Amino acid sequence: MKEIILDYVKNVTKEKDLDYLFKNLNSQYIADKFKIKRNTVSQYLNEAASKDLVKINTRPVLFLHREEFIKRFFYLSKQSYSSIQELLSEENQNIQIHEDIFQNIVGYNGSLKRPIEQMSSSILYPDNSLPILLHGPSGSGKSYLAGLMHQFAIHNHILAPDAPFNIFNCAQYANNPELLSSNLFGHSKGAFTGAVCDTKGILAASDGGILFLDEVHRLNFENQEKLFIFLDKGIFRKVGENAVWQKANVRIIMATTEDIHSSFLDTFIRRIPVIVTLPSLEDRGKEEKLQLLSLFFYRESKVLKKRVLISRQVISLLLSSAFKGNAGGLLSVVKYTCAKAYSHSRSNECICVKISDLPEPVIASASFEHGSETDFQEKKTHNSKIILKLLLEKKKILYSNYVMDSGKIANSNTRKGNDIE
């Protein structure tokens, strides 16, 4: 019965909102639900309060499942709180910590708010953090966020300032599982032809830091089992070593673009308590897409050391286009476009980016997607209104060395009697 009670607390913490938790996760409510004595329930809950549960000393006393609460809401630094207010104050402390590292990320308070909260709470979790699996399309920012979590861990004194952050792309060795295993876990002398000495893998090299396993779905089932043992017990064996277990203190962040349930063993997935889904660029909305465009063009202006002017039509077309590589694909288009615009205006004080500077596939796809020229002009006018509205609301996206000002461009073109394109 004790396990049933604890599973109930875990599942309720996992599924219900805070109001429900603070109202119903007490011994009397649970005793009534399962029709057993309140004293018995209270004993079970108090015994678990030193490990799996968090205790709030209100009247009645409340109990929450700590791991599930941290995954869903925010990090909890203690096992016991004197009041609900004391527990909720932890969220404000977390927000301040988040802002120090994440406040400049596009989407921090929008589409990426939930993913960042999940990841940071997992990093703060005691005993080597919680393993994290990032799931999202190519170019959605998985490796970028993993790197930020390394900074976050150092900033919060979870990792040493010189703690390693290593990246291992499983796809590089997908056709040779033994070589993959050797590079990941290491190998002993004589393990295979050419193994002339003991060699440690990237897992051991990441001791005391974070290992980011990209394209982790490319691990075959045997290597998933090996990694599962490490996630579960913190131990692993080198290739060719059957007697000695190795230990490493490593926080694991993984990433995949594939369907989780069809690409991994059930036992492997069950050992990953935090699965974070990242949105595609299109799912992030036009406001965030415009902010990304602003950021990318600004970075290029710093590289080129020139002021960059982007026509309203270019921004409109980019906002309307879908990019196969998501944010990464958009960045590549911006780099190409600025390079082409720079090539024919190197001697000018500023660079004027026109539609003709965009990659041909982007122009072609836009024409195909919008149909007739009239359709495109209507779409362009609609997007121009959105751009002007966002530029007025988000003044912070205008930079001293970078202008994305549709109004100025339009006024200048009106005086000249033609469009910048």
Do the domain assignments include residue 403? Answer: yes
Can you give the pLDDT at residue 72? 81
Distance between CA 68 and CA 14 in Å, rounded? 5
Same-domain pairing of 21 and 112: no
pLDDT in tens, 64-112: 998 888 878 877 878 899 999 899 887 766 555 555 678 778 898 899 9
Residue 230 resides in a domain = yes
pLDDT at 396: 35
Instruction: From 395, 407, 383, 409, select the one nearest 307 (Cα to Cα).
Output: 409
Q: What is the pLDDT of residue 75?
A: 75
pLDDT band at 332 (very low <50, low <70, confident <90, very high): very high
pLDDT value at position 366?
65
Q: How many CB atoms lie within 10 A of CB 159?
A: 23
User: For residue 131, how many C-alpha atoms fall within 13 Å in the half-sphere facing its CB?
Assistant: 21
Residue type, position 352, single letter = C
Residue 97 falls inside a structural domain: no
Beta bridge partners of 212: 167, 253
pLDDT in tens, 131-151: 999 999 999 999 999 999 999
Lowest mean pLDDT among 24-33, 71-80, 254-263, 305-314: 71-80
- Domain assignment present for residue 341? The answer is yes
Domain stops at, among 261, 277, 293: 277
| pLDDT at residue 64 in the model | 94
Average pLDDT, the chain: 82
Residue type at position 304:
L
The answer to whether residue 421 sits within a structural domain is no
Of 5-14, 322-331, 392-401, the one with minimum mean pLDDT is 392-401
Residue 407, number of CB atoms within 10 A of its CB: 12
**Residue 124 pLDDT grade (very low, low, confident, very high; cuts 50, 70, 90):** confident
Q: Is the pLDDT of residue 339 over 70?
A: yes
Position 236 in a domain = yes
Over residues 271-295, the mean pLDDT reads 92
Question: What local confidence, expressed as pLDDT, does residue 99 receive?
Answer: 53
Please say if the pLDDT value at position 393 is more than 80: no
Cα(337)–Cα(350) distance, rounded to whole angstroms? 14
Q: 393 is in which domain, residue-wise? A: 282-416
CA distance 283 to 139: 13
Given 257, 277, 297, the domain boundary residue is 277
Q: Round to whole Å and give the CA distance between 354 and 420.
A: 7
pLDDT of residue 395: 37
Q: Is the domain of 267 the same as that of 286?
A: no
Same domain, yes or no, for 270 and 290? no
- Averaged over 40-56, what is the pLDDT? 89
Asked if residue 324 is part of any domain, the answer here is yes
Model confidence pTM above 0.85? no
Distance (Å, whole) CA 26 – CA 8: 12
Residue 98 has what pLDDT? 52
In the chain, the number of structural domains is: 3
Residue 1: the pLDDT is: 87
Domain identity same for 150 and 262? yes
333 and 351 co-located in one domain: yes
pLDDT for the residue numbered 104:
77
Residues 3-26 have a mean pLDDT of 91
Higher pLDDT, residue 182 or 373: 182
Residue 162 has pLDDT above 80, yes or no: yes
**373: which 2 tokens?**
């020229």
Whether residue 180 is found in the same domain as residue 209: yes
Token pair listed for 18: 């805070």
DSSP per residue, 103-143: TTSTTTTTTTHHHHHHHHHHHHSTTT---EEEE--TTSSHH
155: confidence class by pLDDT, cuts 50, 70, 90: confident
120 and 207 fall within a common domain: yes
- CATH assignment at residue 32: 1.10.10
pLDDT greater than 70 at residue 181: yes
Tell which of 28, 51, 83 closes a domain: 83
Tokens of 312: 């309203």
CATH number at residue 180: 3.40.50.300
Are residue 74 and residue 198 in the same domain, yes or no? no
Using DSSP's 3-state secondary structure scheme, residue 253 falls into strand
Distance CA 5, CA 389 (A): 53
Q: According to the model, what pLDDT value does residue 92 have?
A: 63
Q: How confident is the model at residue 6 (pLDDT cuts 50, 70, 90)?
A: very high
Residues 110 and 249 both lie in one domain:
yes
Asked if 241 and 257 sit in the same domain, the reply is: yes
Residue 308 and residue 410 share a domain: yes
pLDDT of residue 346: 85
Q: What is the pLDDT of residues 358-383, one digit of tens each?
A: 998 888 876 544 443 444 444 444 44
Lowest mean pLDDT among 19-28, 119-128, 334-343: 119-128
Q: What share of the chain is helix, strand, coil (3-state, %, to 5)?
A: 55, 15, 30
Of the spans 51-60, 72-81, 208-217, 400-409, which averages the highest pLDDT?
208-217
* Residue 96: exposure state from Cβ atoms within 10 A (0-12, 13-18, ≥19): exposed
Structural contact between residues 310 and 421, judged by C-beta atoms closer than 8 angstroms: no
Pairing status of strand 199-200 against strand 132-135: unpaired
The pLDDT > 90 percentage for the chain reads 47
Question: Same domain for 333 and 375?
Answer: yes
